[in-house]
Amino acid sequence: MREPIFNSTRANGVELGHWDWPGDGDPVVFCHATGFHGRCWDQVIRHLPAPAISLDMRSHGRSQQVAPPMHWPDFARDVAKLGEALDWQNVIGVGHSMGGYAIALAAAMRPGMFRALVLLDPVIMAPESYKGHWMDEHFARKRRSHWDSANEMFERFRGRGPFKAWDEQVLHDYCDHALNGSELACPPEVEGSIYENCTLPEANPYFFGIERIDVPVLIVRSAVEFVLGFTAMEASPTDPRLAGKLAKGHDEHWTEVSHFIPMEAPERVARLISESI
């Protein structure tokens, strides 16, 4: 199995960590969900022949910590500026959840950077959803922050809650890279702020011209229904009408997975991406 090299690049005023897998040709760029990190994509990337770059988003993984409040467009600006710094041209972009939002907005901000996008349950809601805070205080603020080891995390999470359907090796990958020392690399107050701010008016992706993206965009949605204002983490937050609003949008509805698509079905996701390379 290829092993990644960790690099850090200053972009948009922040030191952004990224894990780089070697290979021939143009890279596939990966952006993770809120609260996770770039190594959650390991079990997808291992099935791909192409080189890969997997970001640690700001305040996640080994990237620079930024004090809350967290603003969604900043994640997209980070991706766009990092791509500019690393000279991405016509690459494949893959994003899950918040990472899907970020990579889609980056494509709108920097035409020509991506030649195709694969968005796995992106947090891109109906335009009318962007009216204010999702909720005053998200339960993520109360997450346990201190852990003795990655193995303690793994044993605690295995078979429980949303983790019960995860591929076991993906769960290992998450736990192995989730800590800075003994503390969560994404602090609970950061994660909570991201969720709380996801429906602010300034986060509306249509403000950034997302509907003008003119490259092929494949959107994969979970069948678990999302209800605005509730906190079912397994539910799909994606506007079911999103693909129809894009010039080259295509929608797939995966009935056997929750919102945690790349964690539950990494090989199937890899096959999907391979078809876009």
95-121 pLDDT, tens digit each: 999 999 999 999 999 999 999 999 999
Contact between 253 and 221 (Cβ < 8 Å) = yes
Give the helix/strand (H/E) hosting 111. none
The percentage of residues in the chain with a pLDDT greater than 90, rounded to a whole number, is 88
Please tell me the CATH superfamily of domain 5-128+204-274, with its number: Alpha/Beta hydrolase fold, catalytic domain (3.40.50.1820)
Could you tell me the pLDDT band of residue 234, with boundaries at 50, 70 and 90? Answer: confident
Q: What is the pLDDT of residue 161?
A: 86
Q: What is the pLDDT of residue 135?
A: 79
Q: What is the pLDDT of residue 227?
A: 61
Could you tell me the pLDDT band of residue 139, with boundaries at 50, 70 and 90? Answer: confident
The Cα–Cα gap between 210 and 124 comes to 10
Domain residue spans of the chain: 5-128+204-274
Q: What is the pLDDT of residue 228?
A: 55
- Is the model's pLDDT at 229 over the cut of 70? no
Give Cα separations from 250 to 105, 120, 217 (angstroms). Answer: 17, 12, 6
The Cα–Cα gap between 192 and 184 comes to 13
Contact between 18 and 38 (Cβ < 8 Å) = yes
Q: What is the pLDDT of residue 231?
A: 54
Residue range 215-244: average pLDDT?
85
Q: What is the pLDDT of residue 28?
A: 97
The Cα–Cα gap between 11 and 165 comes to 35
Instruction: Give per-residue pLDDT as tens, 3-57.
Output: 999 999 999 999 999 999 998 888 999 999 999 999 999 999 999 989 999 999 9
Residue range 200-220: average pLDDT?
96
Q: What is the pLDDT of residue 86?
A: 97
Amino acid residing at 50:
A
- Is the model's pLDDT at 230 over the cut of 70? no
Q: What is the pLDDT of residue 25?
A: 87
- Is the model's pLDDT at 225 over the cut of 90? no
Q: What is the pLDDT of residue 1?
A: 62
* pTM (2 d.p.): 0.96
